[in-house]
Amino acid sequence: MQIDLEQMLRNVRNRKPVIHNITNYVTVNDVANAELAIGASPIMSDDINEAKDIVAICNGLNINIGTLNERTVDTMQAAGTYANQMKKAVLLDPVGMGASKFRMDVTKHLVNHIDFDVIKGNASEIKALMQGTMSNRGVDVGFDDVVTKDNMKKIAEEMNKLARDKKCIVAMTGEIDLIANGLDAFAVYNGHAEMSQITGTGCLLAGLTTAFIAANTDHMFAATIASICAMGVAGEIGYSHKQPYEGNSSYRNHIIDALYHLSASDLAEKARYEQII
């Protein structure tokens, strides 16, 4: 299966999709800036009273449960329902899904009542969704859940089962990223280990992926792979510009700057990925 990474990114830049973000307040500003950097137009709104109007003017909906509360749960449900009715692209980022019963219950409810195009999370979050198990690492990846060259094909097969069951694309992020659509599966090897020291790189990726699938509605699987490659490449480029005295805060800014300057040719040249199923 061929992935035209350059065209996926060009479509985001040219079509400038408007993205409705119901995301967590820890990373809301960074998500908005990352979407702007890649060429999208973000709207950050989590009040149920304007959910229908905001969904109507947007091309995609990004639901992130990072700072979950009862008020925003109702908004997520309403916005997701409207997005399905209006045939807008919809992504779920089940942040910390296995950390509490509340998060697990809300995630299961959303997944059962909203048709998501993409569900994106780290290894422990996706595992919790696949197996219904709790995690003892909160929003971080559990030590036993890390994806390696040895276990990635087996994990991808399990992801394909979830993708078929929910009729969506499933993306698992980490040192090795896995993306499955129910039939095929790809691994992406871009990124830098220090990205894990920045709060919210996964949230940035959720926003980026929503922009990519909203701009490439006929090729959402390829668009998801392209967005994950783009984030990883930006992480590598950003780290190359990091000075010895700079820490994780500066690195975050370097990543967003790298997204802003990322060209289609750079993405195609630097992306490292392969089909594993």
Quick one: pLDDT at residue 138?
Answer: 47
Give the CATH number of domain 5-275: 3.40.1190.20
What digits encode the pLDDT tens for the residues 17-32? 999 999 999 999 999 9
The whole-angstrom separation of Cα 179 and Cα 131 is: 18
Instruction: Classify each residue of 81-107 as buried b or exposed e, where b means 16 or more C-beta atoms within 10 Å of its C-beta.
Output: bbbbeeebbbbbbbbbbbbeeebbebb
* Separation CA 89–CA 215 (nearest Å): 9
Report the SS3 class of residue 21.
strand
Containing 218, the helix (H) or strand (E) segment is none
DSSP 8-state secondary structure symbol assigned to residue 137: S
Say how far apart CA 116 and CA 237 lie, in whole Å. 31
Q: Phi first, then psi: what are they for 141, rounded to 5°?
A: -80, 130
Q: Which amino acid is at 26?
A: V
> pLDDT tens digits for 32-79?
999 999 999 999 999 999 999 999 999 999 999 999 999 999 999 999
pTM of the model as a whole: 0.95
Residue 101 above 80 pLDDT? yes
